[in-house]
A and B are shown apart, each in its own frame.
Chain A
Amino acid sequence: MSEERIEGQPKYAPGTHVRSKDIRERKITYTWWEPEAQYAFSLGPANSRFLKELKAGKIIGRTCRKCDRVIVPPRMFCDWCYDTTHEWVYLKDTGTVETFSISYLDPDAHLIEDPILVGVISIDGASPKHGFMHYFGEMKPEDLRIGMKVKAVWKPKEERVGSVTDIKYFKPLIGGDE
């Protein structure tokens, strides 16, 4: 980059570009560090019940009577009226695709061959646009569309551990599945 000063314009500050191969080939001096912090997250009452019910093959939400709202994933407080929520309520394991992506990226941004189908599902029985992120399966990427009805496919009971992954994925809901 130019260090020249153009009349009436700011002189831009420098910086020295380093390429990946400069690191690989040790052309620059650097130091390496790998943090080893580990965490045990306690789940709190709302998430604990949610995951316990998933283990039992059920999706549960929380109602806010004041807002006439059914919240999923459930929460102990309502962020609309800022008051405590009221009752537990079981919801269906079906819903609607609100949005989705067909991902060729793994979590570390490496490219993968078989795409991951992922999206947001609003759950039947909850308030509109209330749901969670999950995978889709038993469909071709080109069949996935916003507004389609889907149903949870659960892991076998003995494999469930109390995690969002106790649902394997959501599949297309075809008449009679419910």
Chain B
Amino acid sequence: MRNVSVIGGGMSLFRRRLKETGKELSFLASKMAMEEAGVQRSDIDMVVMGSAPDAFDGIHMKGENLLDGAGGKDKPYVRVFNGGGTGVFAPIAGWWHVASGVADMVMVVCEEKMGSCNPHPQTAFRNIWDPILDRPLNPNLVWLFAMEMNRYMTRYDIKKEDIARVAVKNKRNAVGHPCAQLPDANITVEDVLNSEMMAWPVNRLDISPPSDGASALIYCSEEKAKEFTDDPINVAGVGWNIDSSMWTNRDLYFPDYVANAAKMAYKMAGINDPRKEIDFAEPYDPFTYKELHHLEGLLLCDKGEAPILTREGVTERDGDLPVCPSGGLLGVGNPIAATMGQKVCELYWQLAGKAGKRQIPGDPQVGVGQAWGDIMQMGTVLVMRRG
């Protein structure tokens, strides 16, 4: 396998609704990534599109619809999709195009337009449940996360205020992000705890917003990257793993599938002690507790320890293990697949020293990004390292 470098990233504004179509958003993010990399569409051999359920955009097989906006016309093009895991899985698929030697340069584009689904994209989520066992109970998707959060809290005796600190940290971190939908420099733990109760133990400010948005990144072989930079940023390892949809047949307190994906990625990256060797992390944070659950799944702390690290400030941008320096999904927004912008493009911008106001101090060398999705099943992990 060849080493694969990242040479550019792009992100559109993230908002509850954007006027631009999915094609147009894909175009805007792609052009930004191409401009940053200094390449033309003719330099790009293949395009990988990541986009989550068709039901959000309301266009069945939307990968085909989006392809010209993503620069895929007349090129080898594929859309990959595994729900919330897509934001990190699409760049994994892009990586193997280059690592295998099939392509020298690949653009990965992720798009989501949740604002099209009215009145609320939650309605599309009704169709994600098992039609026989679950749908007759008229479930809301938030129930799932409320039940997982409760199980996690109860197992380790975690206090809600320690979980609320994740929303405070991420929404404050997002203040430095030009695309952010819900940055808040003044938010407090009390604001989170006092926000509307959605499904106990989940309050409104525990949840990331639905969003429209797109993101893009450009890969090439390390050899080719030397034409663009003296200091290449490389994909060091990738991993993915999935449990079954029978989520009522297992204990929800720990995401084994995330740990399996992390072990796969760390092995490829030659990382033996992730706690010592990884400088910062972008775990998936669609809900506050998920950042903590995923930090444990990524083996960056002991089981049940993530809330303590958060309380002690270890995960702040200037802490020992900065977590979600981008502002995450809670602060920047959650256009499902397009969260590649926070989970993977951010790794590149941080390692390249291009993260501006969000820049982690101390010259970080290794970062890990992770996404999660489906019915609490999918773990996708990508490790990036300065060449």
Query: Main secondary structure on chain B at its contact with chain A?
Result: mixed
* Max count, chain A CB within 10 A of own CB: residue among B20, B140, B246: B140
Q: Does B123 contact A (CB under 8 A)?
A: yes
Say whether A118 contacts B354, CB under 8 Å. no
Q: Does B343 contact A (CB under 8 A)?
A: no
Q: Which residues of A contact B150 (CB under 8 A)?
A: 99-101, 146
Contact check: which of B28, B58, B120, B147 meets A33 at CB < 8 Å?
B58
Contact check: which of B133, B154, B212 meets A146 at CB < 8 Å?
B154
Say whether B178 contacts A12, CB under 8 Å. yes
Say whether A19 contacts B139, CB under 8 Å. no
Q: Which residues of B contact A165 (CB under 8 A)?
A: 136-137
Say whether A133 contacts B212, CB under 8 Å. no
Contact check: which of A13, A99, A102, A107 meets B139 at CB < 8 Å?
A107
Q: Which residues of A contact B213 (CB under 8 A)?
A: 15
Q: Which residues of B contact A163 (CB under 8 A)?
A: 136
Contact check: which of A13, A100, A106 meets B147 at CB < 8 Å?
A100
Assign chain B's interface to a size class. 35 or more
- Contacts A28-B19, A73-B133, A120-B147 given; does A99 touch B198 at CB 8 Å: no
Contact check: which of A2, A41, A131 meets B131 at CB < 8 Å?
A41
Q: Which residues of B contact A104 (CB under 8 A)?
A: 196-200
Say whether A39 contacts B252, CB under 8 Å. no
B215's closest neighbor in chain A, by CB? Answer: A13
Interface residue ranges of A70-122 to B (CB < 8 Å):
71, 73, 75, 79, 98-109, 111, 115, 118-120
Contact check: which of A13, A15, A134 meets B15 at CB < 8 Å?
A15
Number of A-B residue pairs having CB atoms within 8 Å of each other in the complex = 186
Binary flags per residue of B180-201, CB closer than 8 Å to A gives 1, else 0: 0000000000000000111111
- Contacts A9-B356, A13-B10, A165-B136 given; does A103 touch B58 at CB 8 Å: no
Q: Does B320 contact A (CB under 8 A)?
A: no
- Contacts A98-B151, A118-B139, A120-B147 given; does A14 touch B28 at CB 8 Å: yes
A146's closest neighbor in chain B, by CB? Answer: B154
Assign chain A's interface to a size class. 35 or more
Q: Which residues of B contact A10 (CB under 8 A)?
A: 8-10, 32, 36, 349, 354
- Contacts A12-B179, A51-B132, A100-B150 given; does A108 touch B119 at CB 8 Å: yes
Interface residue ranges of B1-30 to A (CB < 8 Å):
8-20, 25, 28-29
- Contacts A79-B246, A129-B250, A131-B248 given; does A17 touch B133 at CB 8 Å: no
Say whether B356 contacts A6, CB under 8 Å. yes
**Alpha-carbon separation in the docked complex, A115 to B201 (Å):** 12
Contact check: which of A11, A13, A101, A111 meets B200 at CB < 8 Å?
A101
Q: Which residues of A contact B252 (CB under 8 A)?
A: 98-99
Q: Can you pick out 19 interface pairs between chain A and chain B where the beta carbons lie within 8 Å of each other?
A: A12-B179, A13-B13, A13-B32, A17-B18, A18-B15, A18-B19, A20-B16, A47-B132, A73-B248, A103-B146, A104-B197, A104-B198, A106-B138, A107-B140, A108-B123, A108-B126, A111-B198, A131-B249, A146-B150
